[in-house]
Amino acid sequence: MQIQDLPYPDPGVPDARSGPRFLVWLGRNQLGGQLKALLWGLLHFVSVSSLPFCVGFAVQAVVDRSGARLAAAGGLMALCGVGIALGDTMLHRAAVTNWITAAARVQQLLARRTAVLGSALTRRVAAGEVVAVSTGDVEKIGWLVEAVSRFTAAAVTIVLVCVALVVYQPALGIVVAVGMPVLALSVLPLLPRATRRADFQREKAGRATELATDTVAGLRVLRGIGGEELFLDRYRRASQEVRHAAVRSARMWALISAIQVLLPGLLLIAVVWHGVNLAREGRITVGEMVTVYSAVMILSYPLRHFEEIAMAYSFSRPSAKRAARVLSLERATDGEGSREAVVPSGDLYDPTTGLLAPAGRFTAVVCGDPDAAGELAERLGGHTADSSELPSALVGGVPLDELPLGSARSAVLVQDKDPVLLSGTLRELLDVPASGDVSPEEALSAAQCGDVLDALSQGAPTADDAMDARITERGRSLSGGQRQRLALARSLVTAPGVLVLDEPTSAVDSHTEARIADGIRSLRQGRTTVVFTSSPLLLDRADRVVLVHEGEVAAVGVHRELLHSDARYRVVVTRETDDEAAAHELTHLRELEEIEETA
Amino acid sequence: MIGVAPPAYDPAAPTTAETLPVGAPATVRAYVAELFQRHRRAFLALVAVNTVAVVSSMAGPYLLGSLVQHVSDGATAARELHIERIVALFALALVVQAVFVHQVRLRGAMLGERMLADLREDFLVRAVGLPPGVLERAGTGDLLSRITTDIDRLASAMREAVPQLAIGVVWVVLLLGGLVVTAPPLAPAVLIAVPLLVVGCRWYFRRAPSAYRSEAAGYAAVAAVLAETVDAGRTVEAHRLAARRIDLSDRRVREWTAWERYTLWLRSVLFPVINATHVTVLCSVLMIGGSFVLQGWIGVGQLTTGALIAQMLVDPVSLILRWYDELQVAQVSLARLVGVRDIEPDAGDGSLAPDGRDVHADEVHFGYRAGVDVLRKVSLEVAPGTRLALVGPSGAGKSTLGRLLAGIYAPRSGTVTLGGAELSRMSAERVRSHVALVNQEHHVFVGALRDNLLLARTDADDAELWAALGAVDADGWARALDDGLDTEVGSGGVLLTPAQAQQIALARLVLADPHTLVLDEATSLLDPRAARHLERSLARVLDGRTVVAIAHRLHTAHDADVIAVVENGRISELGSHDQLVVADGAYAALWRSWHG
């Protein structure tokens, strides 16, 4: 797989039974890439390690006063240079390609899993985990994928060099061959401690960042009421804690660096001492001694990869475990369904509460308990996020749970209490799978979005058309009421056979709400619409109002009628306390008398 | 054609206009100078320990060189050699080097951490001093991205790049110095590779910083799409957007990897250049030095030392190249951070103080953009203790009028006064001791419940805090918390319901005790059940104060002393509920529809 061919047309089905299995699965899928990296790595490290031989050869040539051999050493060195440069560049290309293709594959797998899980994600702790895998764990897994072939090449090279030294100069070579494993393993016992301290530092840094973002997010409150110094002090403390943790962690790394200087240095001294004695006895040449010295010096480079692989492995193990867990999450209901994929039409009926929304009419539902209203609204769409014992809602007599998920969602659109605006331009926001009967302009005007368009085009002076203005993540730059109206416009543009809206105008002012109620009514003419609300302005415009009390339909009628006939209804809708309700009863009687009098 | 062109789509390109200024080069330079001045001693100490470490690291090559010289000079010289003494010297140098390398790493980190801490604390100090009007206009999004993304980028620059570069530069200079001292004729041989390195690096560093920025933005965009899909799970499913989200993710992967491919190409040019430089240096030192030895100009010992030092140059040069582009990226982030310093802090006229409590707006005009007035010729008088309700359609200017009455914005023409003194000329601290704006944003700060209340009156004792909670009916649930006032709330701690968050906001008002309140749809995001309960708490808080309520629920208006209907930037109706109902205008029509 080359980078330019990404993304994968199909990222495959991962082996997500466990973290290590997932890593193996990733590796198996890029065996070619790993092999390529290994071979280029060998060329690189072997060329690097050959340099000392050239240096020793050159020094010996000079000692022997041989110009020709010096020139030959130069030629060899140039050859090594080509090997180093080519090997280094190609190793880097191959290793980075491995990490990018692995990271892209995991990101694609995550995107697909998330899309399948859909609403099931919002109620689970899993939501945070998916994001954590995507933002942090993918990189760590990629690091291991990248490092493994480089490490193998380095390890093979060290063995090769030791063997070569033993063959080239047994007396000195054996010292190096014994010393090398000690050097390779010396800092490994310190690494867990160092990474623990680094983790602690990251945790502290995360806390400080959290405090800073939190302070900035609430800055308007602070500036409006006070307490800036209190929060600054708190942040300063957290910031200093980060600093102390970082220095503590640096102490460990400084110690590791010192050991990495000291141990190879001791090996060098041993080589020199032993070497000089051997040279004095005439058993080795000066050039050979320089070669061995130079080789020990240069071997510290491939040696560093022992440290890298140990850290990459310890970081990526928990990451792979988390990734495997996220990739094996499943939905509560069977999204395939047991019936044919047809989109039903007809009356919407919920057997649990007895709620009936006749086809083609505008039904408003009043429900004293907002949580119960939310659950009922979700149930009206079928395929609830959590598994439920309750019977499925029916459209035209067809249980929605038995339909494939896609068909159920096309039949009924449920807009929940907190619809999310996806970032992008306004045009993209309103470009949703739709029946095509309602144009974006019609939907925007029915949802009274005129001022939102103004606000958006003000915020984006470069966009000529408000439709090209960008909506930031979750529509944070807009007010609560503006967000609500845009979400409503999106639902209206979909124009489904059945539309269920849960408190669609709770953050909208009364003037605008009244106009929206008219807009919804005229735009949804002839289609089934259910609105959960307690606002008289919406209830007044519904064909049919249903009061759901303690999980059952308690009254059905029209707003004005219910307002007069049903005390429970009046309490919910007019927000009166019981005393007020009694008083209202009186004034109401008076009003009736007045009406009778004028009549 | 060989090579990869930069991708056409740049994920790092700004999509929305920068809402806060970015520091000018002069501001950035001044800040860097100030930072350096503050940490001058630590810097000098780092350079000093680094010098010792590098000098002692050259002892090995030097001693080996002299050994080689002795051994190759023949048997007599070799016998005179005190190998034990040399080994002892070697070991001593090694210990010194190890100790000082330890010090270099540690001091480098300490310096970096200190600078980083200064930087992030300085930024927050500046941020909390921003005038409220700037915050209302700019929002907090831009500030948030600066304190997360930019501080993050600077973290690695300050923590690693600055100390490492300082170390690397000193290292190179010393190695070259060592070469000049031990084998002077060899020094020019090193310079042969310099032109290659300079040309290659110039090519690379011209392209690298912006390319890495785009690459990082591209990668962040991949994660951002996924995070959004997760966050919007229900919406995505309800609107059948799953396939589109997958397509979008794949598109982001394509855009990101296109930049990865480009930066990989940049490195594919840089790596051979660096490798070639190293080998050229080593090769030229050996070849040129070797022929010098053959000519008898230098000794074989000097050649050995020279070659080993040339070999040692690999590390510091890689170090410099590794961190140099990080520094370039950091410059951009630094400019964004110090840009906040370019905003004039809100000074206000300290001597200006209100005399009395009446709020008065006189022929006020106001607009967010030149030439477009949101409010036109608005005049209004609010007597002390009055409750004024502002009603009207969205976008009519209610909230803007509220912010003018709270002293957050200054009118374009006309005046808004409190007790005869102009609000916009007072300092924010003075204004807030008299007037508070309460909006939909009921931010609960991460931390103890106590801190969340103390911010309103920092010297309040626990009894006062409990009294404030009691005044807003919040003492019930607050007392039930495990640690009382010490309970951690906000994200990560005990999660409060929106209604509880609102009660905390109200308790803060009780503590801050301003005589005038501007309520901007304060309860609008709550569900009706909670709202009803809260209104009782609110009523107690409002008692005896002047209140300007931007209302979107008519029963709030009904309870007010005076109602102002704002339409199209003007006040179209003004009077009590009964007066307006009798007048039979827009308000009356709405009321009838509402009340049935």
Give the tens place of pLDDT for each residue, B514-541.
999 998 876 665 666 666 677 777 778 8
Is the Cβ of A69 closer than 8 Å to some Cβ of chain B? no
Chain A residue numbers touching B300 (CB-CB < 8 A): 59, 62-63, 286
**Chain B contact present for A88, CB below 8 A:** yes
pLDDT, position A500 = 96
Q: How many CB pairs under 8 A join A and B?
A: 504
Please check whether residues A447 and A508 belong to one and the same domain.
Answer: yes
pLDDT of residue B347: 66
Kindly state whether residues A184 and A69 are assigned to the same domain.
no
* Inter-chain CB proximity A510 and B17 less than 8 Å: no
Output the domain CATH number for residue A420.
Answer: 3.40.50.300
Same domain as A514, residue A586? no
Residues A560 and A590 in one domain: no
Question: What's chain B's average pLDDT?
Answer: 85
Residue A292 lies in a domain: no
A389 and A494 part of one domain: yes
| In a domain? residue A293 | no
Q: What pLDDT, on the 0 to 100 scale, is given for residue B79?
A: 64
User: Rounded mean pLDDT of B313-326?
Assistant: 84
Does B225 sit within 8 Å of A540, measured CB to CB?
A: no
Q: Distance between CA atoms of B215 and B259, rounded to whole angstroms?
A: 5
* B445–A509 C-beta distance less than 8 A: no
Q: In whole angstroms, how far apart are CA A145 and each of A318, B129, B294, B307? A: 15, 47, 50, 36
Q: Mind telling me how many Å the CA of B110 is from chain A's nearest CA? A: 6
**In degrees rounded to 5, what are phi and psi of residue B123?**
-65, -45
Domain-located, residue A78: yes
Name the strands in the sheet holding B421-422, side by side, starting at the edge strand that comes first in the sequence. B375-382, B359-366, B413-418, B421-422
- Judge whether A492 is closer than 8 Å to chain B, CB to CB: no
Residue of chain A with shortest Cα separation from B126 = A232
Of the partner residues B86, B141, B555, the one whose CB lies closest to the CB of residue A575: B555
B18 pLDDT tier (thresholds 50, 70, 90): low
Q: Does A234 touch chain B (CB under 8 A)?
A: yes
In terms of CA atoms, which chain A residue is nearest residue B227? A131
Chain A CB contacts of B512 under 8 Å are: 225-226
A485 to chain B, closest Cα gap in Å = 11
Contact between B405 and B389 (Cβ < 8 Å): no
| Closest Cβ opposite residue A227 in set B91, B121, B454 | B454
Rg (CA), chain B: 35
Residue A76 forms part of a structural domain: yes
What's the confidence (pLDDT) of residue B228?
86
d(CA A217, CA A236): 17
**Alpha-carbon B353 to chain mean position:** 35
pLDDT band at A581 (very low <50, low <70, confident <90, very high): very low
Name which of A501, A547, A506, A502 is nearest A523 in CA terms.
Answer: A501
Does A510 lie at the interface with B, CB-CB under 8 angstroms?
yes
**Residue A302 lies inside a defined structural domain of this protein:** no
Q: Quickly state the pLDDT bin for A579 (edges 50, 70, 90).
A: very low
Q: Is A297 on the interface with B (CB under 8 A)?
A: yes
Same domain, residue pair A57 and A147: yes
Q: Return the number of other C-beta atoms located less than 10 Å from residue A524's C-beta.
A: 20
The answer for residues whose C-beta is within 8 angstroms of residue B285's C-beta and 6 or more apart is B186, B189, B190, B303, B306, B307, B310
Give me the torsion for CA of A367, A372, A375, A376, rounded to 10°: -40
CB A355 within 8 A of CB A365: yes
Nearest residue in chain A measured CA to CA from B108: A250
- In this structure, are residues B557 and B581 in contact, taking their beta carbons and an 8 Å threshold? no
- CA dist A193 and B504 (Å) reads 43
The answer to whether A114 faces chain B, any CB pair under 8 Å, is yes
Shared domain for A164 and A177, answered yes or no, is: no
A575–B532 C-beta distance less than 8 A: yes
Alpha carbon of A499: minimum distance to chain B alpha carbons (Å): 11
B383 Cα to chain A: minimum distance (Å): 22
Assign B193 to helix, strand or coil: coil
Examine the pLDDT at A209 and tell me if it is beyond 90. Answer: no
* A456 touches B1 (CB < 8 A): no
Does residue A526 share a domain with residue A446? Answer: yes
Domain check: are A352 and A275 in the same one?
no
- In a mutational test of the A interface, the residue from B110, B269, B286 whose CB has the highest number of chain A CBs within 10 Å is B286
Q: How far is B328 from chain A (nearest CA, A)?
A: 23
Query: Which uninterrupted H or E stretch holds A592?
Result: helix A578-598
Chain B hits for A246, CB-CB cut-off 8 Å, are: 109, 113, 159
Structure tokens given for B595:
């009340």
pLDDT for residue B1 is more than 50: no
Within an 8 Å CB–CB cutoff, is residue A182 touching chain B?
A: no
What amino acid is encoded at A5 in this protein? D
**Residue range(s) defining the domain that contains residue A253:** 170-283
What's A95's domain CATH number?
Answer: 1.20.1560.10
Overall average pLDDT of the A57-72 stretch: 89
In a domain, A303, yes or no: no
Summarised one tens digit per residue, pLDDT across range A106-122 is 999 999 998 888 887 75
Please give the structure tokens belonging to residue A375: 């659950």
pLDDT at B596 over 60: no
| A582 part of contact set with chain B, CB < 8 Å | no
CB contact under 8 A, A93 and B101: no
Distance of residue B27 Cα from the nearest chain A Cα, in angstroms:
23
Question: Do β-strands B387-391 and B562-567 pair in parallel, antiparallel, or remain unpaired?
Answer: parallel
The domain total for chain A is 4
Whole-number percent of chain B with pLDDT over 90: 25
Same domain? For A393 and A542 the reply is yes
Nearest CA-CA distance, residue B518 and chain A, Å: 11
Residue A53 vs residues A169, A291, A302, B183, B595: alpha-carbon distances, Å: 11, 5, 16, 22, 97
Shortest CA distance from B550: residue in chain A: A509
Q: Identify the DSSP state of A3.
A: G
A528 vs chain B: nearest CA distance in angstroms? 17
Query: Which residues 307-366 on chain A approach chain B with CB closer than 8 angstroms?
Result: none
Residue A299, domain member (yes or no): no
Question: Which of A44, A96, A101, A220 should one mutate to test binding to chain B, selecting the residue with the greatest count of B CBs within 10 A?
Answer: A220
Residues counted in chain A: 599
> B590 and A510 in contact by Cβ < 8 A?
yes
- pLDDT tens across B186-214, in order? 888 888 888 999 999 999 988 888 888 88
Partners of A111 on chain B (C-beta within 8 Å) are 225-226, 229, 245-246, 249-250
Can you spell out the DSSP letters for B306-357?
HHHHHHHTHHHHHHHHHHHHHHHHHHHHHHHHHHGGGSPP----TT---SSS
Residue A118 lies in a domain: yes
Of B201 and A335, the structure prediction assigns the larger pLDDT to B201
Cβ contact B481:B400 at 8 Å: no
Which residue of B257, B309, B346 is the best one to mutate when testing the A interface, meaning the one whose CB has the most A CBs within 10 A? B257
Q: Which of A61, A81, A472 sits opposite B290 (nearest CB)?
A: A61
Residues 551-570 of A with CB under 8 A from B: 559-560, 563
On whether the CB atoms of residues A476 and B440 are closer than 8 A, the answer is no
Judgement on whether residues A578 and A450 belong to the same structural domain of the protein: no
Structure-model confidence comparison of residues B374 and B264, the more confident one: B264
Helix-helix angle A138-168:A31-63, to 10 degrees: 40
Cβ separation of B109 and A480 shorter than 8 Å? no
- Residue B95: the pLDDT is 95
Entry pTM: 0.82
Determine contact: A592 vs chain B, CB below 8 A.
no
Shortest distance between the Cα of A18 and any Cα of chain B, in A, equals 22
| ipTM score for this prediction | 0.86
Mean pLDDT of A573-586: 54
Asked if A428 is an interface residue toward chain B (Cβ–Cβ < 8 A), one would say no
pLDDT tier, B241 (very low <50, low <70, confident <90, very high otherwise): very high
Statement: residue A587 has pLDDT above 50: yes
Does one domain contain both A157 and A128? yes
**DSSP codes of every residue in A150-204:** HHHHHHHHHHHHHHHHHHH-HHHHHHHHHHHHHHHHHTGGGHHHHHHHHHHHHHH
Model pLDDT for residues A475-491, shown as the tens digit of each residue = 777 777 889 999 999 99
- Whether a cis peptide bond, with omega within 30° of 0, leads into A7 is yes
Residues A118-163 have pLDDT tens digits of 887 755 556 677 877 887 789 889 999 999 999 999 999 999 989 9
